[in-house]
Amino acid sequence: MPVTDEYTKPHEVSPEATRIAAQCSLDLGAVGKNEARKIMSLQHKALGYRPPPGSLASEAQVAASKHPDGISPSPPDTASLREAAIKDAARIEIERGRSLSPKAVSCGIDLDRIGLAEARKLMSEEHKALGYRPPPGSLAADAQAAAAKHPENKDYSIDPQILTLAALKDAARIASERGATGAKFVTLSDRRTEEPPKLQSEARNQGPDDYS
């Protein structure tokens, strides 16, 4: 039997995934198998199911199959991989008419034990990612309310990277829920070059009561 077009047609690149990768300064042409696995893992966790064809994770796997070891002496940094994976997960959920669940974005953080310092970190990171103060119902807002009950708790230590990841994932959840209204989602790349003046002034003026 002759070979059908199904097996001969070239892979069709997802323009949405490619656009998000570019926004996050992620060069898919430089992604190797290790980076592709990280993206797949992050996106799988954020979505709660295996990323579908057309997702950033799927595109990264296709790219990595051409150069398993990558082609750049400096592989993409973890922050860019994480940001792109989460933002694309939000895009997928918007297209499917769903949003990331609060449980999926919490990264196992126990709000019953979280202290004031961790709550501030969550608020800062989620504020930066969204471009506006996290609303009621956000992970950051819930963490503030919880920390107010035990502000000096030092028995529960959370890795700062976990806090950042949870904040970014919850920002993606909120962005997906507000996608129809065009809510702003600030990328890590944006934050490197343009720190919101309002946020900087708030950080200088914040005291303990700001997080109660």
Confidence at residue 198, expressed as pLDDT on a 0 to 100 scale: 39
**pLDDT (tens digit, 9 = 90+) per residue, 117-159?**
899 999 998 988 888 899 999 999 999 999 998 877 776 778 8
Least confident of 13-22, 87-96, 103-112, 187-196: 187-196
**pLDDT (tens digit, 9 = 90+) per residue, 84-103?**
887 888 788 778 776 655 65
**pLDDT (tens digit, 9 = 90+) per residue, 51-78?**
999 999 999 999 999 888 877 667 778 7
Q: What is the pTM of this model?
A: 0.54
Q: Which one is predicted more confidently, 21 or 106?
A: 21
Backbone angles phi, psi at 111, to 5 degrees: -65, -20
Predicted confidence band at 208 (pLDDT cuts at 50, 70, 90)?
very low
